[in-house]
Structure 1
Amino acid sequence: MKTKTKVMLMGLLFAVIIIPASIFSVRYYYPNTNDFTGIKVPSAPTKTPVKNVNTDILFDEKKWTTNFTHDGAIIKEDRWYYVFSTDYMVGAPPTPGIQIRKSRDLIHWEFVGRVFDQVSQEAWDWTHGTTFWAPNVIQMNGKYYLYYSVSEVGKRNSYIGLATSEKIEGPWKDEGAVFKSKEGDGNTVNAIDPDITIDKSDQPWMVYGSYFGGIFITKIDKNTGKLVDPNDQGTLLAQRKDMNAGIEGPEIIYYKKTGYFYLTVSYGWLEDTYNVRVARSKYITGPFLDYNHKDMIDLSDDSFNTGNKIVASYSFGKDPGWLGTGHNGLLQDGDNYYLIHNARTGEDKYWSHLHVRKVLWTDDGWPVVSPERYAGEKEQKVMESNLIGEWQQIVLNRFDDAMESSTKLQLLPYGEIKTAKGKSRWKLNGRNTLQMSIYDPGVAPKDYWNFTVKVIPSWDWENWKGTLVFTGMNQEGTVIWGEKIINK
């Protein structure tokens, strides 16, 4: 064979066999970590990233959007979502009146105005409070019932009042006191943070309370909107041994698929360690038990570890993150559930924003929430190839309420997880359930942390791009969040 022919044949062999084999090899060892095949990620919420601290809008309420929202309560009416919240702002005393915001999509919010101009004379005489706290709104009897709080800071001199309106945006009529508390009144409850829940028999209840006495529930007369027994503080649902550590902001929601009522409360201090805990009960009056069957009335030294922690202060990567992630509201919208809460920026903890998060349900019936703010995402079927790559993970430590920072997690092809100790595995079950077995000898139960999480597309607010996230729990009820790192 001539030399020239040999060279041509070798070149052909190289082109047909060697190059494709090399490409295959590269793809095997360096898989596509940005694979979004079959996944529809949300669009950018706005054209440019949102400023978490923006002094230009301080005195321009029309531009407040999510700024200065605290202790929000959410309701959907006439295709609008409304949030009513505590009087709060930065840089000046807040204007009293209960702030109102609305949105068509839970993403873009506009400031509507306020319910009142000032605290009522009756509330002032009882508490000497000048602003409104922690409202709650519900529709009954063809009109809207707004419950609000006025309180003397640091004391049980507190007042829950009621206002009614034919329209969700008002005007509102003050109907006076629902329940009042004061030192020496023979009760232990602090009359703030009301939430109205309707049980399976169409009976309304008010769950309320805060520091000092804990969380209570009592019946509401559905004709008047006030207590069935004006002198009955109700049934105790949740309490901590050291009430100075904080428990407040209760909400209750019923989930028909499981037949459980779910109680959420906030632990910690509102400026930094605030976090949301959840427990459940077949009965609206309790007892409410967490994943580990611990009663939310916990007077033990271990009461800091009661309740599934589902939202907490966090930071992904180098982002300053969010503090004070507490005092939540709950919304059922058809088959979808959402949790809202206030969150304070890592840059300046006095700037408080409204966060909306999608609620997902574990296979054993517990609510967990997305690690990212809602941007229109929906649960979708995912493939194994979508999951391969680097992730940031945050474990919401139940024993420590300080800000949680993310660490790296790498999902390799063929179900391997890259760890120093090896032996860690992952697999995809069903439409979007990811199971991870993390080898941690001598620390984890039977040497493995077993996490079962739900994977959904999301918007990465820190890096301003679409991504995948996961949320779920391990065998001890500890929540883990994850967010996929998308390479440029």
Structure 2
Amino acid sequence: MNISKKEAVTVTYPVEPPDTRLFDTANNNNESAWTTTNTHDPSVIKTEDGTYYVVSTDVKVGGPAQAGIMVRKSKDLIHWQWVGRVFDGVPKEAYEWTKGPTLWAPDVAKFGDRYYLYYASSTFGSNQSFIGLATASSMEGPWTDEGEVIKTGLGDKQNAIDPNIVRDADGNPWFVYGSFFSGIHILPLDPSTGKLKESGPGTLVAARSTAQESGAVEGPYIVYNPQFKKYYLFASYDSLSSDYNVRVGRADSITGPYVDYNGRNLADTEYEAQFDIGTKILGGYRFGEDPGWVAPGHNSVLQDGDDYYILHHARPEQDTNWMYLHVRKILWTEDGWPVVSPERYAGEKVQVIPKKEIAGEWETVEQLTMIDGQVESESLKLLPSGKIGLEDSGDTWTFDGDHTVTLHLNSDGNGETSVKVMLLPSWDWELNRPTLVFTGLNDAGVAWWGKKLDSSDKP
């Protein structure tokens, strides 16, 4: 990203976003108050009038969920408003096949002047599953059910849930789906009908060994980044209620192979350390004394001009029965890997950062692939001299004069580890104030987050 230093005289921090009231039991039955509450498996689309819509799985804390696919909208990705549901119940064809009482993990795309919404029906632990299609001229309906796109039964290896529609570099649409069982598959879509060009199961792009304790790879979402001329497959690993985490692989072709930062194929089920496949960019975390979040995952990705955002659900550590919508800004490393902000989006923009704002006390989170559940933050002190911790330390930091810092860590005696991170003026949701954060990868492809604690010079 090219940023003019002459234009960045001062750093602009986000203003205070609306408070997300957690555990709001008083509004359990008041859907109009469900701004980000009760959001699970969110999928996002931006309409021509500049409105962002999120569709999501049927869930509810404190009682049975009403079936029909939830719809929310926003003008800024910060303030969210309840819209309603796509259906009044589960469509007949889907219910007759699966007996599923609710609808799961939708995705939405636009072909011509109509919106195409793909929904999933199933029951937990079964691959007697169904993906159907509904169409409408407006994201607020009315919607017409168009029936089956693909279904699977007990004798099949794949599982027909978690649909995702993606266009390749030439504009051709593809259909991605799958959860657990044999993994994630992709096959071409007919834009004239919104249904498959050919029968499934399609090309396998991600899988996990059945020997893996949870065996989960699900919630696929593919995007194409024209800057790097690569396709990126985002998928969620492990248990959706405890240690969910988002991992990424990339490919030169939309049908793969998708490989992680270290060149491991996301479809390789023979690799011994299955936990180590996929570049993990988002997992459970805790900054300082804040309870933090667990099981973030099942994301969608929004490309909005030159900006990218990841939308996902997450559960508060105090009570994981609740789930909330999170939006985070995505930044891209210079070698073409997505990394996400450690803080939820509040309107922040990438800017040139004066060097004087960097030194100070920080909290960092290292998103190691083998960690299940929540990662607790550790302290990091960046000294004005360029040293880390103490003046006689062997660890140092350098700054490129724009918005990138490199941490040179070699005090453990195992050789230097380099961590290149990008700075972002953000809102500190834990401490309710503006602050500086960073996000990036070390030279082994491990995601690093940081948040500056001393913010006395902020507005």
**Same fold? TM cut 0.5:** yes
1:414 partner SS: coil
Q: Which amino acid is the alignment partner of residue 266 of structure 1? A: S
Match of 1:38 in 2: 10
Q: 1:182 to 1:420 in 2, by over 3 A?
A: farther
Matched, 1:123 2:114: no
Deviation at residue 380 of structure 1 after TM alignment:
0.3
Match of 1:114 in 2: 85
Deviation at residue 486 of structure 1 after TM alignment:
2.7
- 1:157-216 superposed Cα distances (whole Å, 9 cap, x missing partner): 0000000001111000000000000012xx421000000001122211011100111000
Separation (CA, whole Å) in 1 of partners of 2:323 and 2:390: 37
Q: Which amino acid is the alignment partner of residue 10 of structure 2? A: G
Deviation at residue 450 of structure 1 after TM alignment:
0.5
Aligned counterpart for 2:191 among listed residues 222, 227, 243 = 222
- 1:253-273 superposed Cα distances (whole Å, 9 cap, x missing partner): 000000000000000111110
Separation (CA, whole Å) in 2 of partners of 1:263 and 1:331: 13
Aligned counterpart for 2:30 among listed residues 60, 64, 78 = 60
Aligned counterpart for 2:208 among listed residues 237, 240, 258 = 240
Match of 2:61 in 1: 90
Matched, 1:51 2:9: no
**Greater mean deviation of Cα atoms: 238-247 or 71-80:** 238-247
Say if 1:410 and 1:417, in contact at 8 Å, map to a contact too. Answer: yes
Separation (CA, whole Å) in 1 of partners of 2:267 and 2:138: 38
- 1:410-465 superposed Cα distances (whole Å, 9 cap, x missing partner): 0001211006982000011141010001124344xxx1221000001000000000
Separation (CA, whole Å) in 2 of partners of 1:381 and 1:127: 53
Give the number of the structure whose residues are more often helix, by fraction: 1
- TM-score w.r.t. the length of structure 1 is 0.89
Matched, 1:204 2:168: no
Say if 1:371 and 1:481, in contact at 8 Å, map to a contact too. Answer: yes
Match of 1:166 in 2: 137
- 1:72-98 superposed Cα distances (whole Å, 9 cap, x missing partner): 000001211100000011000001110
Q: Runs of 5+ in structure 1 lacking a partner?
A: 1-35
1:339 partner SS: strand
- How many residues were matched structurally? 445
Q: Runs of 5+ in structure 2 lacking a partner?
A: 1-7
2:134 partner SS: strand
Q: Which amino acid is the alignment partner of residue 295 of structure 2? A: G
Match of 2:5 in 1: none
Aligned counterpart for 1:483 among listed residues 444, 447, 451 = 451
Say if 1:280 and 1:288, in contact at 8 Å, map to a contact too. Answer: yes
Match of 2:4 in 1: none
What are the within-5 Å matches in structure 2 for residues 8-407 of structure 1?
Answer: 38-46=10-18, 49-77=19-47, 78-184=49-155, 187-229=156-198, 231-242=199-210, 244-299=214-269, 300-407=271-378
- TM-score w.r.t. the length of structure 2 is 0.95
Say if 1:344 and 1:353, in contact at 8 Å, map to a contact too. Answer: yes
1:125 partner SS: helix
Say if 2:365 and 2:375, in contact at 8 Å, map to a contact too. Answer: yes
Separation (CA, whole Å) in 2 of partners of 1:412 and 1:337: 32
Deviation at residue 241 of structure 1 after TM alignment:
1.0
Separation (CA, whole Å) in 2 of partners of 1:52 and 1:407: 26
Separation (CA, whole Å) in 2 of partners of 1:216 and 1:140: 22
Separation (CA, whole Å) in 2 of partners of 1:351 and 1:370: 22
Say if 1:37 and 1:386, in contact at 8 Å, map to a contact too. Answer: no
What is the identity percentage for the equivalent residue pairs of Structure 1 and Structure 2?
46
Deviation at residue 141 of structure 1 after TM alignment:
2.1
Q: Over aligned residue pairs, what C-alpha RMSD do you find?
A: 1.4
Higher CA-based Rg: 1
Deviation at residue 51 of structure 1 after TM alignment:
2.1
Matched, 1:474 2:420: no
Separation (CA, whole Å) in 2 of partners of 1:116 and 1:222: 23
